[in-house]
Amino acid sequence: MARPGNEHPTDRELTILNVLWERGPSRLSAICGALRQGGSAAPSTVATMLKIMRQKGFVERVSSDKGVVWEARLTHEEAGSGMLETLMNRLFDGSARKVVLHLLEGGELSRKDREEIRRVLETTKKAKR
């Protein structure tokens, strides 16, 4: 019986997803190699994680000319949007305004980030006219 899908990937799952998002479909050995650069990654542990992630619908096991490869089914954008929405709802009463104000007032944004936000706001403002 398949495990019920978790709403969001765990930190360990995100680490594996980041490898797949950066490299595309990859063999287990390539995923382990990429993970070893940031610490330890036993193939049996990574294989178990991938099986769990497959049950959750985050990755897919595909036969290819390279043999069996793993590919992300969850996109970076989907993961980010879902996690941000949960954070916004849980900590900021569902208010995007409160999230942005928190970042602006907390000094968490670089000058470049502030300029980009300003540019997007101006573009959006002009489009609504």
- Closest by CA to 13, choosing from 29, 30, 35, is 35
CA distance 101 to 106: 8
102-127 pLDDT, tens per residue? 888 887 788 898 899 889 888 887 77
Angle at the Cα of 107 from the Cα atoms of 106 and 112, rounded to 5 degrees? 140
pLDDT band at 1 (very low <50, low <70, confident <90, very high): very low
One-character DSSP codes across 34-76: HHHTTS---HHHHHHHHHHHHHHTSEEEEEETTEEEEEESS-H
34-89 pLDDT, tens per residue? 998 867 789 999 999 999 999 999 999 999 887 899 999 999 999 999 899 989 99
CA distance 99 to 54: 32
